[in-house]
Structure formats: structure tokens, C-alpha cells
Structure 1
Amino acid sequence: MSLATAPFSPSSATIAVVTYNRSGLLTRLLESIERMDPKPGHIVIVDNASVDDTADVVESFRERVGTRLVYRRLETNTGGSGGFSEGMRVAYELGSEWIWLMDDDVEVLPDGLARMGKWAPRFRSIQGRRYDYDGSEFYWQYRVAEKMGIPIPFAPAGFDESGYKEMNSGCFEGMFIHRDIVAKIGLPDPRFFIYWDDQLYGWLASRHTTSVIVNEFVLRRTREIKQWDMGIRHMNASSDAYRYYIMRNRAHIKQYYRALGVYRRIPFAAGTALTFVKELIRLLAVERTVRGTSHLFRGLRDGGRIARDRAWKPMPPLSASQPVA
């Protein structure tokens, strides 16, 4: 359990949002933040070089959102990984004690920050719950099989009277993390571009503190995603880009495991094989096609180059005394 015992102050928190060419979804998120009570001290919007009216939308909320809004437009699209790395950096340099990460395709429930804040005196890496697009309770895979580096899809969904469960993963769609942990593990790794970055970051956090998912609904997804209903779980549709990075980025996880002395070749290879099979099933069952397998193989090939890179190093820790921007 964390050593944090001070009462939570909403003004000490920053919501960091990454967006890319989805100004309509961003509008819904900012409208929900406008309705929040209490509000965070800052909102950081990282724009991944959008070519739509995102900048105008952000400016239209600057005076009405009810808290300080910081806008960072990147020169190139760095993916979710690069966007969250930059959002975390800006929030950290603003002196934020708590950083709440989220995509642009969610909205915050009005008392969401208060619900997260009530756990802040006890824990320093917290994940809240969210409703899916249709209002159903979204199940998130909060535990990973560490040696294999993959999520456990059937970890128990229910909560006991404690109201929380320990986790060893993370999701940037709602991660609520204290700056002390960010200082120790560094910024999210932008080299992932997309996929596995948040799982790894949450795993890194769990090595330094008791990380938990709490029985608090704080977000609602606002974008519908094609799914295969498996009864007790769902499998979402994907894309060629996701298929590529799902396989390529296994190599980045392997390098982190090596650097931290937890890499075991056979279990990790089994995790990679299971990931490959899962993506084949996703193609057949959700998207009803076999086209796209070439991107899985291409990801494996490029991942091999990353895994052989002897100059590769993990993201460095930050200085806890880093000056406020």
C-alpha cells in the first residue's frame, strides 16, 4: 500500500487528453469536463498534428471549461504513445500531483474526479471503471501474466467489500497516477506508437507501488466499436496498423523485461504466439476476413530488429524536483 496519506485536492490533478482528427469526440469530452464538480487544476490537450478544426474547438472551450487549459499541438502524429508521453511530461512540469490520462473518445462522469480522489490517500496508481458505448459495464483486463507479457482475459470481474482489486497492468483510458511514481518509472515510452504501451507502463508502476482498479464508474465511452460478443467477454475489431504494432511492440516489452531481469525466453515466446493466434481469431471472427495477416508477420520481422538492438535502453526516471513550467 502507498505511503500517501495527505487529503486529496482536486486542484492538484491534471487531466491529460490525446486527440487526433476527432474534434467531435473531443467536444463531447470537454463538455463533460465543463460539467464536472469538482474540476481538476489543469486540462492538457495534446493534439497529434490534427488537420481538422481541433485547435478551434480547444480555443472555444478555453474560457468556459472552468479551469486552466493547456494546448500542445505536435508537428507530427506520434501515435497514442507519443501523445501520452507528451501529455504526461507537460502535466508533470506543471507540478501536478495527480495525472489522469484519457483518450478523446470518452466522457467524464460529473463526480468522476471526486470518486478517484477518495482513493488517492491510499494508493498511487489507480484505475477507475467505465461504461461502454451502449451503457453496459466495460470489462478491462487488469492483470497480466507477467512471464508471458499478456493480459489475463478471465481475471475475476467482481469486487468484494474492499471496493478494489490489485492490478499489474494499466490503461491510458483512465489511468490516474501520482507524480512520485512517474518520477521513478519515467514517461510513457513513445517508441511504441500504439499498443502495449499502457499495459507496460502500468506494470512498471506496479513494481513500485500497490496498483489497484477501484469499483468506481468514472468514464463513459462515446465511440461505438465493432465487437464480437463472446457471452461473458467481447473482442473488438482492429486495424492493419494495430495488427502491425501488436506484434512489433512485443520486442519493446522484451527489451524492458531484459533490462529489469525478468525476461524468460520460453514463456515470453508463448505469449507472443498466443497474441498472434488471438489476432488471427479477431480477423476471422470480428472482421470476417483473412486479409491483414501480412501486417502481423511484418510486425514480427521489424520487432526482431528492435530485439537485437544492443543500444536499446528503457525510458529514464525523472527528477522529482523538475521545475514547474
Structure 2
Amino acid sequence: MRVTAVLVAYNRRELLRESLEALAAQSRPVDRLVVVDNASDDDSAAVAAELLEHWGERGRLIQLTENTGGAGGFATGIAAAVAEECIDWVWVMDDDTVPGTDALAGALDAHAKYRETGQDDLAVMGSRVVWTDGEDHPMNTPKAKIRAGATERERAAAAGGMEIRSISFVSAFLRADRVRDLGLPIADYFLWNDDFEYSARLLRGARGIYVPGSVVTHKTAKRGSSDQDPGPRFFFEVRNKLWVFRESPALSGWEKLLYSAATARRWFRTFRASSDRAQLRDCLRRGWRDGWRTKPRPTRQVLRDTGVPVDVMVAVDRLSKLEER
């Protein structure tokens, strides 16, 4: 198995340094590394360039001229990764994710155990994500897949994991061939729900597991769940979730109903915990309007003229056509 790590950076130079040093220290070395700098205005690009020097041809820095959000950054980096036909897995993370020494080794060990139990239909793996206190991070702790069959649960358990239906981009392993078949994350999401939509799309008709033996630290400012007060970002939560339910093939009909109910409960908790409900109401109004009246633009259109290198843009164009089918 050959693995390319894709790290998206934006204005967190010190955390970026820590993350890149952790990637370089993996007990099972990463085969390739792509760092996408989302037009940072600190020294993130310089930090990445410095630490990529020892990677030689195995490392690549892509400096975008516009901030395309996490969604655009991951679409760019994943396109660059899978353009190399020899790559089997793409390991994605943000610049505030610090992998443990055995994070990659743990994931690949789980994959090997999974293959021993039957067909190699594994499309996605997710690491155990902890906060700085070593406890599970509630923002990135997945739930078991609803209505998973007995065989699916048994195979996941035999690999030391748990069957999943979606995963966050905080240390997710994406099967490169599956990406080549189904396309890229939708860059127009900008942030929030891009990882939910994309991982659910890759996992529809395929298998995914949560791997506790692969551990990373998500160094957010606070240890909180996704329903805590998001401030102005709540606009993206509302608009993008409606885009998922209306436009994406990631979920079946019954799943859309189930996730819609869960979303309503989460929004209620968000409002209840907020100290600025007027701002959230404005985000809800605008997000609801745009979520119903618009749909995501093609990823190739969003990333055009944002500094994506020509060879990567060729891959984006090809993979974006799959997303548009």
C-alpha cells in the first residue's frame, strides 16, 4: 500500500510545523506528502517549504492565491494525490491535526486485517481523534453505521474497528481508486459538511471503518462538539446541509429523513447554547434561502483561477466531471 498524505493549511504556522514534524516521524513512513496552503497571510507557506525540503521529490507544496476553504483545499490536494496512479490511499487532515507516531501504521494494519476476512471493499478509514487531554474529541468521534449487517460488523471488529457511514477530514484515509471512480469533495461547500457529504458519497455501496489503533490529536482551542455556538459559520452549516439533502447522491431516501431529524435536533441545541441568537437567526435565514435557491457550482469552476497548478487543474477537471454526473 502506498499512501499520500494531504494537509490543508491556513494561518496556523506553529500548528502546521507540529503537524508536519509528526508526519515526518511516522513509524511507517508516508510515501508522498502534499501541503495545500490556502493563501495564508502568515508564514505558513514558508514553514511548509522549509519542512518539505528533506522530503525531496516525495513532497509538494501547492500555494493557492485565494482562500478556497477546507473544501477547496482538500479537493485540490486529493486531486494532486490521486493523479499518481501508484497511490493506493490518500490520508487527509488539517494543519491543527497532529498524528501519533503509529497513526499510519495503525490504519494500514487494520486494513490488512480487514482484507484477511473477505473482499477488499474498504473505501474509507478514520482515525481515533483525541483532544490535548488525551480524551476522545466529541467533534470528531463517529457513530456506528445504522442498519449495518452482522457480517459487516464482524469484519470491522476483526480489524479492531467499528463500521461507519461517514467520517470527518480530521485524519481520514480515502481509497484512491474510489476517489478516481467518484470524483472530488465539492469545493463550493467552502467549509462544514464537505467531509460528511464526501465520505458518505464514497461509502455508499462500499465499506468504512473507524480505527482506534490510529490516533491523532486535534488541537482545537476548546474540546467541544459540533453543536456548540459556531457564530457566523452557522450559515455554512445550514446552506451546506440543505445542499447535501437536496443535491447529493451520498444518502439514500431513508437516510436523508434520519439525518434531517438529527440535524434539526442539533440546530435546536446550537440555538439553546448560543449567546448571540440574533446572529444565528440571520445565518439560519440566509443559509436556508441559499440552500433552497442555489446548488453547488462544479468544483472545477470554483477552483479555476485560484492558483491551482496546471497539472493538478487537469486532474481537478477530469475528477470534477465525475462529481457532476
CA distance in 2, matches of 1:119, 1:258: 28
CA contact (8 A) 2:227 2:270 kept: no
Mapped pair 1:218 → 2:215: yes
1:182 matched to which residue of 2? Answer: 179
Judged with a 3 Å threshold, the aligned counterparts in structure 2 of structure 1 residues 124 and 226 are, in CA distance, closer, same or farther, namely: closer
Judged with a 3 Å threshold, the aligned counterparts in structure 2 of structure 1 residues 212 and 269 are, in CA distance, closer, same or farther, namely: closer
CA distance in 1, matches of 2:217, 2:259: 34
CA contact (8 A) 1:15 1:42 kept: yes
Q: CA deviation at 1:304?
A: 1.6
1:56 matched to which residue of 2? Answer: 46
Aligned to 2:28, what secondary structure does the other structure show?
Answer: coil
Q: Which amino acid aligns with 2:292?
A: G
Give a deviation string over 1:10-35, Cα, whole Å, max 9, x none: xx101100111111110110111222
Q: Which amino acid aligns with 1:221?
A: H
After superposition, where does 1:207-286 map in structure 2 within 5 Å? 207-225=204-222, 227=224, 234=225, 237-257=228-248, 262=253, 270-283=261-274
After superposition, where does 1:163-174 map in structure 2 within 5 Å? 163-174=160-171
Give a deviation string over 1:230-262, Cα, whole Å, max 9, x none: xxxx56644333200000112211233469763
The percent identity for this pair of structures is 27
Q: CA deviation at 1:225?
A: 1.7
Q: CA deviation at 1:110?
A: 1.2
Q: Which amino acid aligns with 2:111?
A: A
Judged with a 3 Å threshold, the aligned counterparts in structure 2 of structure 1 residues 126 and 298 are, in CA distance, closer, same or farther, namely: same
1:41 matched to which residue of 2? Answer: 31
2:127 matched to which residue of 1? Answer: 128
Q: CA deviation at 1:94?
A: 2.7
Judged with a 3 Å threshold, the aligned counterparts in structure 2 of structure 1 residues 211 and 270 are, in CA distance, closer, same or farther, namely: same
Give the TM-score of the pair, scaled to structure 2: 0.77
CA contact (8 A) 2:7 2:35 kept: yes
Q: CA deviation at 1:272?
A: 4.8
Give a deviation string over 1:93-140, Cα, whole Å, max 9, x none: 133211000010011111211111112343331112122122212341
CA distance in 1, matches of 2:61, 2:226: 34
Q: Which amino acid aligns with 1:171?
A: S
CA distance in 2, matches of 1:133, 1:163: 24
Give the TM-score of the pair, scaled to structure 1: 0.77
Aligned to 1:36, what secondary structure does the other structure show?
Answer: coil
Q: CA deviation at 1:65?
A: 5.1
Which of the pair is proportionally richer in helix?
2
2:322 pairs with one of 317, 321, 324: 317
**Where do 5+ consecutive residues of structure 2 fail to align?**
116-121, 148-155, 298-318
Mapped pair 1:193 → 2:181: no
Judged with a 3 Å threshold, the aligned counterparts in structure 2 of structure 1 residues 165 and 266 are, in CA distance, closer, same or farther, namely: closer
Aligned to 2:294, what secondary structure does the other structure show?
Answer: helix
Q: For this pair of structures, how many residues does the alignment match?
A: 282
CA distance in 2, matches of 1:67, 1:118: 26
1:141 matched to which residue of 2? Answer: 142
**Where do 5+ consecutive residues of structure 1 fail to align?**
1-7, 147-158, 228-233, 319-325
Greater CA deviation, 209-218 or 25-34?
A: 209-218
CA contact (8 A) 2:105 2:214 kept: no
CA distance in 2, matches of 1:292, 1:54: 31
1:118 matched to which residue of 2? Answer: 109
CA contact (8 A) 2:198 2:250 kept: no
CA distance in 2, matches of 1:21, 1:252: 28
After superposition, where does 1:151-166 map in structure 2 within 5 Å? 163-166=160-163
Give a deviation string over 1:18-64, Cα, whole Å, max 9, x none: 11111111011011122222211111001111111112101211233
Greater CA deviation, 98-107 or 136-145?
A: 136-145
RMSD: 2.9
Judged with a 3 Å threshold, the aligned counterparts in structure 2 of structure 1 residues 260 and 131 are, in CA distance, closer, same or farther, namely: closer
Judged with a 3 Å threshold, the aligned counterparts in structure 2 of structure 1 residues 308 and 97 are, in CA distance, closer, same or farther, namely: closer
2:277 matched to which residue of 1? Answer: 290
Q: Which amino acid aligns with 1:118?
A: D
